[in-house]
C-alpha cells in the first residue's frame, strides 16, 4: 500500500471513523472513566494506579488532552470524539520507538486483546521489524490464563477460548507470557507492542511498552502521562473493517523507515 501523506491519513481516519466522530458514545466513555476513578481494576488495564486518579474529572482532562474527547464535563451523552491529529502525533512517536528497535535489533513481543481489529496491524509491524533484524519473541508453549490458552497467531500473542480468538482487557495473559519466559531462563523483551491489559501490564512490569487504545479505555493514556507506558495511540480499536487500518499501518512503518510489512 502507498504511504499516505499526513493530511491524507487524517482524512482517512475521519472518514472511516477510526478518529473524528467515533462510534463509542459519550455515555460509555464517562462510565469507564468513573469506574477507573472508583478503583475498578478491570479498567486499570494491568496498571497500578493507586489513589492517584480518584477524580473522574481528572481522568476526563487527561483524555481530552491525549485522546481528544470533548473536554466539557457537562457533555454527558451523545457523540464523542478522537482528535485525528493526536492519533497521527502518537503514530509518529511510536515510529521513533520502532526506529530505535530496528537500529538496536531489539527483541519485540506483540500481543493483542482486540484480534478482530488490530491483529493485522501488529502482524505487519512484526514483519517489518523482523526484516530489519529484530527478534520477534516466540512465547512459551502451554500457557494458560483466564480459562483460556495464550498462544501466538501470525507473530501476535492472543487469548484463545473454544477455538476462538478472544477479546480481552485482562493483564493475566501478559503475566503468563512474562512469567513463562522467566521460568525458561529467557530474557524479557526489549519492547512490547500491544493494547489493553497486555500493554498496561508490560509497562507496569518495567518493560518498554507502546500500544493502541480507544477513547473508552483511559488507563493506557494515564500510563503514558505517568511514564509507565511510552506511547499510547488513540483510535477506535474495532471499526467496521480491519482493512481500514491499512493506511495507518503504512504511515507508521513509513515514518519509522521500515519495510512494508506485507
**Are 225 and 49 contacting, i.e. CB atoms less than 8 angstroms apart?**
no
pTM, full prediction:
0.96
Is residue 198 within a helix (H) or strand (E), and if so which, with residue range? Answer: helix 196-204
Q: Grid coordinates in use for 229? A: 507506558
Query: How high is the pLDDT of residue 1?
Result: 80
- Residue extents of the structural domains in the chain: 1-261
Q: What is the per-residue pLDDT across 94-114, written as a single tens digit (0 to 9) for each? A: 999 999 999 999 999 999 999
Residue 25, sorted as left (phi over 0), alpha (psi -120 to 50) or beta, turns out to be beta
User: Using one digit for the tens of pLDDT, what is the confidence trace for 119-159?
Assistant: 999 999 999 999 999 999 999 999 999 999 999 999 999 99
Q: Angle 196-204/219-226 helices, nearest 10 degrees?
A: 30
pLDDT digits (tens, 9 = 90+) for 16-43: 999 999 999 999 999 999 999 999 999 9
Query: How far apart, in Å, do the first and last CA atoms of the chain sit?
Result: 9
Give me the helices (H) in the chain, please: 6-15, 26-37, 56-66, 84-103, 115-131, 172-183, 196-204, 219-226, 246-255
Quote the DSSP letter at residue 88: H
Amino acid at each position: 500500500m502507498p504511504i499516505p501523506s499526513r493530511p491524507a491519513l487524517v482524512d482517512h481516519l475521519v472518514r472511516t471513523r477510526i478518529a473524528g466522530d467515533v462510534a463509542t458514545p459519550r455515555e460509555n466513555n464517562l462510565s469507564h472513566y468513573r469506574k477507573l476513578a472508583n478503583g475498578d481494576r478491570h479498567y486499570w488495564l494491568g496498571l497500578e494506579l493507586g489513589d492517584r486518579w480518584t477524580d473522574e474529572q481528572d481522568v476526563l482532562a487527561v483524555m481530552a488532552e491525549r485522546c481528544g474527547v470533548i473536554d466539557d464535563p457537562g457533555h454527558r451523552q451523545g457523540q464523542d470524539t478522537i482528535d485525528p491529529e493526536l492519533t497521527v502525533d502518537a503514530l509518529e512517536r511510536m515510529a521513533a520507538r520502532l526506529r530505535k528497535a530496528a537500529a538496536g535489533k531489539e527483541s519485540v513481543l506483540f500481543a493483542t486483546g482486540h484480534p478482530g481489529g488490530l491483529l493485522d496491524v501488529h502482524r505487519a509491524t512484526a514483519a517489518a521489524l523482523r526484516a530489519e533484524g529484530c527478534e520477534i519473541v516466540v512465547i512459551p508453549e502451554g500457557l494458560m490464563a483466564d480459562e483460556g490458552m495464550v498462544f501466538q497467531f501470525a507473530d501476535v500473542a492472543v487469548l484463545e477460548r473454544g477455538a476462538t480468538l478472544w477479546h480481552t482487557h485482562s493483564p493475566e495473559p501478559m503475566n503468563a507470557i512474562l512469567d513463562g519466559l522467566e521460568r525458561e531462563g529467557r530474557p524479557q523483551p526489549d519492547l512490547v507492542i500491544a493494547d489493553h491489559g497486555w500493554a498496561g501490564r508490560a509497562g507496569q512490569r518495567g518493560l518498554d511498552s507502546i500500544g493502541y487504545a480507544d477513547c473508552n479505555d483511559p488507563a493506557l493514556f494515564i500510563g503514558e502521562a505517568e511514564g509507565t507506558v511510552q506511547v499510547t495511540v488513540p483510535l477506535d480499536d474495532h471499526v467496521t473493517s480491519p482493512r481500514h487500518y491499512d493506511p495507518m499501518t503504512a504511515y507508521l512503518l513509513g515514518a519509522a523507515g521500515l519495510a512494508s510489512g506485507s
